[in-house]
């Protein structure tokens, strides 16, 4: 296997890791207005992801940096081409991140606590929904191809990206991350809030199944491959199995199924893309591929060693974190009278 192929897999792995991990953070954030009847509920919800949202978000930084190191041309064309969508994602991640930290601290500065928390809660909701939608729009467009000129420079506008396939991709990630988050809530909480999360997961999950089926079929028709078919089929089966397990209150199994759904669904997009990394809709000859977008052999060799040593370690200590914080959180866990 060539080093640039290995790095295509590593970049795919890092983005999949990001979507699996920050995906449920986004889902929890979007659920605040639907499941959070009062402040205690909302604090239960936020605390399910409290210890981990920051390290989950770190995955996008590492994915972006790895893209830069291994495929600088891809990174340069993609990030400058998708300028405004990425701006929106950045602004959303900023307001969401600080909102988690600041929402409980209104009392310390003598602000009206109700207004203060309401504002930050909305920042969490919007800051979760916007990236959930836009990552899907972005990845669908990467697979579909965008207008790139001979220098691999994007020549479209933001409206070029808002095409039916791109928007459908966005709705899939929006509903998929939401379902994922709801199942995470069901797994991590107890009592009434768990039941409500589970019920909402069924509803959102059914909508998601329909959208995902349409999107993956569309992808297969335009980019047929056996691997893509297998991955899409596994994604569909695990999504439905996850919903069934959720219906029968098997939260752990349901959540695990959705994790597999995200891995295989995003995996099917990467398989549809290969060996391109950023196809040009202007002229296929202008496309970026794993050949013409990659770094030199030397850089890829150095980075492969770093990745081979570090990724297992990262998985180990991050896994340990999830183990430390494995307990369920309920209304009882929220100390009364504190922030």
Partner 1 sequence: MFASPESEKLMHAAISAVLTELSPLDLSRWQFGITTVYHFLFVPLTIGMVFLVAILQTAWYRTQNEKFLKLTKLFGKIFLINFAIGVVTGIVQEFQFGMNWSDYSRFVGDIFGAPLAMEGLLAFFFEATFIGLWIFGWDRLSKGLHLATIWMTALGVVLSAYFILAANSFMQNPVGFEINEAKNRAELVDIGAVLTNIVALNQFPHTITASFMFAGAVMVGISAYHLKRNQQVAAMGTSLKLGLWTVIVGGLGTVLSGDGLGLAMVQTQPMKMAAAEALYNTAAPASFSIFTWGTPDGKSELFSVRIPNLLSFLSTHTLDGKVEGLNDLQAQYVAAYGPGDYMPVIWITYWAFRWMIGLGMLSILIAAVGLVLTRKNNFALPKWAWNIAIWASPIPVLAISLGWLFTEMGRQPWLVFKLMKTSAGVSPGINGVDVLISLIAFTLVYAVLAVIEMRLLLAAAQAGIEEPKKTESADHLAVAY
Q: Does 191 bind partner 1 (CB under 8 A)?
A: no
Contacts (CB under 8 A) with partner 1, residues 150-189? 151, 153-155
Q: Are strands 288-289 and 276-278 parallel, antiparallel or unpaired?
A: antiparallel
Q: Pick the closer one to partner 1 by CB: 86 or 253.
A: 86
User: Which H or E run includes 314?
Assistant: helix 297-324
Decide if residue 329 touches partner 1 (CB under 8 A): yes
Choice from 5, 33, 94, 191 touching partner 1 (CB under 8 A)? 94
- Among positions 237-296, residues that touch partner 1 (CB under 8 A) are 295-296
Q: Which one of 5, 9, 37, 101 is in contact with partner 1 (CB under 8 A)?
A: 101
98 near partner 1, judged by CB under 8 A: yes
Report the C-alpha gap between 129 and 92 in whole angstroms: 9
Total residues at the site for partner 1 (CB under 8 A)?
Answer: 77
User: Cβ closer to partner 1: 95 or 220?
Assistant: 95
- Cα separation values, 110 from 8, 80, 104, 114, 121, Å: 51, 42, 12, 11, 18
Using CB under 8 A as the binding rule, the residues of this chain from 34 to 73 that contact partner 1 are 43, 46-47, 50-52, 54-55, 57-58, 60-62, 64-66, 68-70, 72-73
For the segment 299-318, give every residue that binds partner 1 (CB under 8 A). Answer: 299, 302-303, 306-307, 310-311, 314, 317-318
**Which residue, 84 or 214, is less far from partner 1 as judged by CB?**
84
Q: Which is nearer to partner 1, 79 or 247 (CB)?
A: 79
Residues 6+ apart with CB under 8 A from 163: 141, 144
Q: Which is nearer to partner 1, 75 or 257 (CB)?
A: 75
What's the burial of 294, exposed, middle or buried (CB within 10 Å: 0-12/13-18/19+)? buried
Give whichever of 219 and 295 is closer to partner 1, judged by the CB atom: 295
Q: Residues 6, 32, 91, 167: which binds partner 1 (CB under 8 A)?
A: 91
Task: Round to whole Å and give the CA distance between 89 and 82.
Answer: 11
- Nearer to partner 1 by Cβ, of 59 and 178: the residue is 59
From CA 109, how far away is CA 95, in angstroms rounded? 19
Phi and psi at 310, nearest 5°, equal -80, -40
Which residues 102-161 are close enough to bind partner 1 by CB under 8 A? 102-105, 108-110, 151, 153-155
Name the residue with tokens 């991050």: 318
**Residue keyed to tokens 């836009």:** 134
Smallest distance from the beta carbon of 7 to partner 1, in angstroms? 10
- The Cα-based distances of 61 to 109, 169, 231 in angstroms read 32, 22, 26
Among 28, 35, 78, 140, binds partner 1 (CB under 8 A): 78
Q: Which of 23, 27, 81, 131 binds partner 1 (CB under 8 A)?
A: 81
CA distance 269 to 208: 17
Burial class (CB in 10 A: 0-12, 13-18, 19+), 79: middle
Which is closer to partner 1, CB of 185 or CB of 236? 185
DSSP single-letter state for residue 285: G
């Amino acid at each position: 296997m060539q080093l640039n192929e290995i790095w295509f897999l590593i970049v795919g792995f890092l983005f999949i890791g990001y979507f699996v991990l920050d995906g449920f953070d986004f889902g929890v954030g979007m659920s605040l207005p639907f499941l959070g009847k009062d402040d205690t509920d909302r604090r239960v919800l936020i605390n399910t992801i409290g210890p981990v949202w920051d390290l989950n978000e770190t995955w996008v930084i590492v994915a972006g940096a790895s893209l830069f190191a291994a495929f600088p041309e891809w990174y340069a064309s993609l990030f400058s081409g998708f300028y405004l969508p990425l701006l929106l994602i950045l602004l959303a991640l900023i307001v969401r991140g600080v909102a988690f930290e600041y929402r409980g601290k209104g009392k310390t500065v003598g602000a009206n606590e109700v207004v203060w928390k309401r504002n930050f809660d909305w920042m969490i909701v919007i800051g979760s929904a916007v990236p959930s939608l836009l990552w899907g729009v972005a990845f669908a467009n990467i697979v579909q191809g965008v207008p790139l000129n001979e220098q691999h420079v994007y020549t479209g506008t933001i409206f070029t990206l808002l095409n039916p396939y791109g928007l459908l991709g966005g709705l899939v990630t929006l509903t998929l991350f939401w379902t994922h988050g709801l199942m995470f809530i069901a797994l991590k909480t107890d009592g009434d809030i768990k039941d409500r999360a589970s019920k909402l997961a069924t509803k959102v999950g059914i909508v998601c199944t329909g959208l995902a089926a349409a999107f993956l079929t569309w992808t297969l028709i335009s980019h047929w491959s056996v691997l893509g078919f297998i991955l899409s089929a596994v994604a569909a089966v695990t999504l439905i199995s996850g919903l069934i397990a959720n219906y029968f209150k098997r939260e752990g199994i349901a959540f695990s199924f959705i994790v597999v759904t995200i891995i295989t669904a995003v995996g099917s997009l990467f398989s549809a893309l290969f060996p391109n990394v950023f196809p040009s809709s202007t002229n296929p000859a202008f496309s970026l591929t794993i050949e013409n977008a990659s770094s030199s052999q030397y850089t890829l060799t150095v980075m492969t060693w770093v990745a081979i040593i570090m990724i297992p370690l990262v998985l180990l200590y991050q896994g340990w974190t999830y183990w430390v914080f494995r307990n369920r959180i309920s209304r009882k866990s929220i100390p009364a009278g504190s922030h």
